[in-house]
Amino acid sequence: MSPGGKTTVRRDVLLQFGFDFNYHTHLYRTRQGNTYHFCYDYGYLLLEDDRVLIVSQQNYKKSPA
C-alpha cells in the first residue's frame, strides 16, 4: 500500500484487507507528540477523518520531522 514509502489511506480499506490495529512491534514518538505504531519496517499514524498515514521506517527516519 506504500510503494513510495509514504501514503495515506482510509482506515476502512485497511480493515477490509484484514489489518489488525491492535498488533505492533514498536512505537515511535515524534518531538511534536505524534505516535507512530510500527509493525516491523512499516508504521502508521492515525489521522483525522478515519485516515491513516503509512510510512516505511527507512524513509520516515530520513525525512526531517
**pTM (2 d.p.):** 0.77
pLDDT per residue as tens digits for the range 4-36: 678 999 999 999 999 999 999 999 999 999 999
Q: Where are the alpha helices (DSSP H) in the chain?
A: 11-16, 57-62
- List, edge to edge, every strand of the sheet that includes 26-29: 6-10, 51-56, 42-46, 35-39, 26-29
Mean pLDDT of 39-65: 80
